[in-house]
Amino acid sequence: MSGTDGTASIREQASRCREAAQQLAQLDTAAKDALLRSMARALDDDADAILAANAHDLDAARAKGIAGAMLDRLALDGKRLSGIAGALREVAALPDPVGQVTRRETRPNGIQVERVRVPLGVIAMIYEARPNVTADAAALCIKAGNGVILRGGSEAIHSNTAIASALQRAIGEAGLDPAVLTLVTDLRRETMLELLQLTDIVDLAIPRGGEGLIRFVAEHARVPVIKHYKGVCHLYVDRDADLGLALRLLLDGKASRPGVCNALETVLVHADVADEFLPRAAAALRARQVELRGDEATRALVPDAVPATTDDYAAEFLDLIIAARVVADLDAAIGHIRQYTSDHTEVIATRDEAVARRFVESLRSAVVMVNASSRFSDGGELGLGAEIGISTTRLHSYGPMGLEALTVERFVVRGEGQVRHPDLL
Amino acid sequence: MSGTDGTASIREQASRCREAAQQLAQLDTAAKDALLRSMARALDDDADAILAANAHDLDAARAKGIAGAMLDRLALDGKRLSGIAGALREVAALPDPVGQVTRRETRPNGIQVERVRVPLGVIAMIYEARPNVTADAAALCIKAGNGVILRGGSEAIHSNTAIASALQRAIGEAGLDPAVLTLVTDLRRETMLELLQLTDIVDLAIPRGGEGLIRFVAEHARVPVIKHYKGVCHLYVDRDADLGLALRLLLDGKASRPGVCNALETVLVHADVADEFLPRAAAALRARQVELRGDEATRALVPDAVPATTDDYAAEFLDLIIAARVVADLDAAIGHIRQYTSDHTEVIATRDEAVARRFVESLRSAVVMVNASSRFSDGGELGLGAEIGISTTRLHSYGPMGLEALTVERFVVRGEGQVRHPDLL
């Protein structure tokens, strides 16, 4: 059904994206990489138009009183736009997961069984006012052979339209239906809801943004959703930790970029080293304007620490605040983390191999680090090349998601006429 | 909240299963395998009680007028029960996916990144009156370190209770909380609906049974669901097929066990070989009591074929019926399959490598076979060792699902104090 204004309905748009994705899935790696480089060039070519559209969005956002980090995420300039085009070229240079044979076995009856990666199909990205996601997500989905339906925040609609239009021109020039990249411009909530019900067309929805948006998508979607709500990352400083190393992990984890999901939110300290570690940590945190909120044992050692509440241990502060707690032993640390974990990233500082192993095996978070900073919990840092999101859903993909997470393995079998019941013939 | 009759609510039961699953996840392979063998022994020990309970179910089913295949699936005897216990021992002998390191990389900064398989957590199995599923699904979930919540059909409730009770005794004797295997005995529909909403506890629901049950679960669950509705499997007989080989695939695919999802439902024949292949195929099918429903071109060659309707091409007959259609070329065959596919299994018979490759690459079904029977589309036949279900959901797992599909890869990182922003320290 068409909309009353003559535009295609979201179902029609999504169906066309799905058809186009079948064309895309036939392209070989070289053709997809050439397309991604053309898309990068189209962004460069359209820089003036994109920046003008972005200025339009910024004016409207300021008029609505938007400021600070949100305005900053919305803003583009020549340098940022070049960075976005550069990211597309980096995606072009990554290995193509599609067609990879992950396993190969010849069965006793002679049939050869392969597991081969294929694209998921059509991916719906639901995100907030970050125009860079429009290009980044499109590039990753297309590299992995998927159609992509982009539904960004209303504050970025002019920027997103200009970016999508450049990318679609490059797609069309490559002989593909530009609908393989579909930007949803009807931003009514009911249209997004309709998109999230299209179980026969959309293979996966990935929401990116604040917890509110993600919960909304997770609660209303009938299509599969991969999400993460928040990162409440823990550092446990063991009795056998190198305390200098532990302090480095603490400062990097909390102070290097407090507004991201892989920043630390809570530090747990073994009672045997608390009197040595906590005062030193408190001083270093204080010097970096980090507020320390502690339990009674922490405050006995750091008198100016703010009393920590249960809510503090569950919080993703996204700010220069950290919660601290003294724990009796490894088990108490594991117990605390199991209670408060967001399944994102946990870190242990210890020199004791057996303790490290037990920490890793006792926790089921997506990423567990031994003597390394939580800030490495990122697709690029972990070697995925790029990241479309981080999953704390323990299904399909868990932790940072790269290109491979946009594919699935299927079976390809080759035989010479083998049948299961030759006696019947 | 407890139920009004004093029993635990489904949320309480599921929470306890989740706690128990954390204990289970700590067991090493040897301990899990010993547990599975004890569970098999417990089934043997309780054979009399289980068969008595099953007789009770069978009486009630007959009184309700249940007969035929459904009654047969419900029925146990000494031999079938031994088979179920044997299947548990086979699961014990399979390789353990948990802890497998699937990738290992040292990053330029020296951190060592591993991808390691961990259990999914808690799996809810929703199934019909097949008591063998109670033991099979429990064994596979437990081997992969997961808690399992079993919600079987009401017709098998006494059998399921007796089987679960034997298995739980073995679990308790191993020092684990028997709640790791939780049988739902409150079979009210609203209780199942509540179970399917427990997104904070249940990691995955797997429905097994008829299309109605699966649609009900898929439409009402808020937890992730892996499903397949039906298997509309196609055989395409190419112009360059070995026609004797194609006939073997056709007969094995349709007549060896028509009631299963990997049976063939439609045969597509290239026009150039239709006059040679179809009359011969029709005679062989007729000799095996298979009804042929064909398009006009088929009926021109096989006058006694029943006219095929569009519905026939979409049907999973689960019976000795097959639809046939003559197609102009490979593209027409691909077009037909894309229109009617259930994403399960497609087969091509051809000697032309290039045609085979294009068939495989143009179709996105979970299993694609070249010159081999669709009936190999099965976890055991494809080398998975056992099968918990077949997924036509293009996410997490696609096609037959074995133990590995009950796990997910996460990241384990080991460093020596590496941080992301050393300049900040």
- Lowest average pLDDT, out of A89-103, B211-225, B278-292, goes to B211-225
CB contact (8 A) between residue B371 and residue A414: yes
pLDDT digits (tens, 9 = 90+) for B293-340: 999 999 999 999 999 999 999 999 999 999 999 999 999 999 999 999
pLDDT digits (tens, 9 = 90+) for B149-160: 999 999 999 999
B424 touches chain A (CB under 8 A): yes
Picking from A118, A123, A143, the residue whose alpha carbon sits closest to that of residue A32 is A143
Count interface pairs A-B at CB distance under 8 A. Answer: 229
Alpha-helical segments (H) within B26-75: 29-45, 47-63, 68-74
The alpha-carbon gap from A63 to the nearest alpha carbon of chain B, in Å, equals: 37
pLDDT number for residue A11: 97
Distance from chain centroid for Cα B180: 22
Amino acid identity at A387:
E
B287 touches chain A (CB under 8 A): no
The ranges of chain A annotated as CATH 3.40.605.10 are: 10-226
B297 DSSP 8-state letter: H
Query: What ipTM does this complex have?
Result: 0.95
Angstrom distance (rounded) from CA B251 to CA B239: 19
Count of residues in chain B: 425
Query: Per-residue pLDDT for A324 more than 50?
Result: yes
Q: B10-226+400-412 has which fold?
A: Aldehyde Dehydrogenase; Chain A, domain 1 (3.40.605)
The ranges of chain A annotated as CATH 3.40.309.10 are: 233-376
Q: Are A122 and A21 in contact (CB under 8 A)?
A: yes
pLDDT number for residue A109: 97
Query: Per-residue pLDDT for B262 more than 90?
Result: yes
CB contact (8 A) between residue B382 and residue A107: yes
Tokens of B423: 């300049």
Return the residue matching tokens 């870190």. A347
Instruction: Using CB atoms within 10 Å of the CB of residue B423, give its burial: 0 to 12 exposed, 13 to 18 middle, 19+ buried.
Output: exposed
* A364 neighbourhood in chain B, CB within 8 Å: 22, 25, 118-119, 121, 410
* A376 neighbourhood in chain B, CB within 8 Å: 111, 413, 415, 418, 420
Q: Are B179 and B20 in contact (CB under 8 A)?
A: yes
* B219 neighbourhood in chain A, CB within 8 Å: 222
pLDDT digits (tens, 9 = 90+) for B344-386: 999 999 999 999 999 999 999 999 999 999 999 999 999 998 8
Beta strand A181-183 with A147-151 is: parallel
How far, in Å, are A335, B143, B152, B167 from residue B149 at the CA level?
A: 24, 15, 10, 13
Distance from chain centroid for Cα B229: 11
CB contact (8 A) between residue B251 and residue A204: no
Picking from A93, A148, A91, A96, the residue whose alpha carbon sits closest to that of residue A120 is A148
The answer for A 304-363 residues in CB contact with B (under 8 A) is 338, 356, 360-362
B415 touches chain A (CB under 8 A): yes
Chain A, nearest residue to B120 by Cα: A394
Return the residue matching tokens 């320290």. B425
Tokens of B83: 């088979």
The ranges of chain B annotated as CATH 3.40.605.10 are: 10-226+400-412
| pLDDT band per the 50, 70, 90 thresholds, residue A1 | very low
Alpha-helical segments (H) within B186-256: 189-195, 211-220, 243-255
Angstrom distance (rounded) from CA B356 to CA B240: 10
DSSP structure string for B382-394? TT-SS-SEEEEEE
The answer for residues whose C-beta is within 8 angstroms of residue B72's C-beta and 6 or more apart is none
pLDDT number for residue B210: 86
Angstrom distance (rounded) from CA A392 to CA A226: 8
Give the rounded percent of residues in chain B with a pLDDT score beyond 90.
93
Beta strand A345-349 with A233-237 is: parallel
Query: Per-residue pLDDT for A44 more than 50?
Result: yes
Return the residue matching tokens 């099979």. B136
> Burial code of B160-180, b = ≥16 C-beta within 10 A, e = fewer?
bbbbbbbbbbbbeebebbbbb
| pLDDT band per the 50, 70, 90 thresholds, residue B254 | very high
Class in CATH terms, A10-226: alpha beta
The alpha-carbon gap from A15 to the nearest alpha carbon of chain B, in Å, equals: 13
> Burial code of A179-197, b = ≥16 C-beta within 10 A, e = fewer?
bbbbbbebeeeebbeebbe
CB contact (8 A) between residue B375 and residue A421: yes
Picking from A114, A111, A94, the residue whose alpha carbon sits closest to that of residue A103 is A114
Angstrom distance (rounded) from CA B342 to CA B211: 12
CB contact (8 A) between residue B22 and residue A367: no
Beta strand A204-208 with B233-237 is: unpaired
Q: Which of A228, A411, A425 is the mutation pick for testing B, counting most B CBs within 10 A?
A: A411
Picking from B154, B146, B42, B137, the residue whose alpha carbon sits closest to that of residue B389 is B137
pLDDT digits (tens, 9 = 90+) for A365-422: 999 999 999 999 999 999 998 899 999 999 999 999 999 999 999 999 999 999 999 9
Query: Per-residue pLDDT for B218 more than 80?
Result: yes
Angstrom distance (rounded) from CA B333 to CA B241: 14
CB contact (8 A) between residue A364 and residue B424: no
Query: Per-residue pLDDT for A146 more than 90?
Result: yes
Angstrom distance (rounded) from CA A372 to CA A367: 11
CATH number for the segment(s) A233-376: 3.40.309.10
Chain B, nearest residue to A246 by Cα: B417
Angstrom distance (rounded) from CA A11 to CA B166: 51
A290 DSSP 8-state letter: -
Query: Per-residue pLDDT for B68 more than 60?
Result: yes
Angstrom distance (rounded) from CA A78 to CA A395: 39
Picking from A360, A254, A29, the residue whose alpha carbon sits closest to that of residue B419 is A254
Specify the 3-state DSSP secondary structure of B330: helix
Query: Per-residue pLDDT for A5 more than 70?
Result: no
End-to-end C-alpha distance for chain A, whole angstroms: 50
A2 DSSP 8-state letter: B
DSSP structure string for A157-170? HHHHHHHHHHHHHH
pLDDT number for residue A210: 86
Angstrom distance (rounded) from CA A167 to CA A170: 5
Beta strand A397-401 with A389-395 is: antiparallel
Tokens of A195: 């998109």
Picking from B54, B47, B85, the residue whose alpha carbon sits closest to that of residue B72 is B54
Angstrom distance (rounded) from CA A96 to CA A28: 9
pTM for this prediction: 0.94
Return the residue matching tokens 């045969």. B267
pLDDT digits (tens, 9 = 90+) for A151-167: 999 999 999 999 999 99
Distance from chain centroid for Cα B31: 26
* A356 neighbourhood in chain B, CB within 8 Å: 414
B145 touches chain A (CB under 8 A): no
**Closest partner residue to B421 among A252, A361, A415, by Cβ?**
A252
DSSP structure string for A35-82? HHHHHHHHHHHTHHHHHHHHHHHHHHHHHTT--HHHHHHH---HHHHH
* A366 neighbourhood in chain B, CB within 8 Å: 410-411
**Closest partner residue to A367 among B288, B398, B413, by Cβ?**
B413
Give the rounded percent of residues in chain A with a pLDDT score beyond 90.
93
B4 touches chain A (CB under 8 A): no
pLDDT number for residue A3: 44
CA A41-A145-A209 angle, to 5 degrees, is 75
Beta strand A407-418 with B367-372 is: parallel
Angstrom distance (rounded) from CA B369 to CA A62: 58
B224 touches chain A (CB under 8 A): yes
CB contact (8 A) between residue B413 and residue A242: no
**Closest partner residue to A249 among B369, B397, B419, by Cβ?**
B419
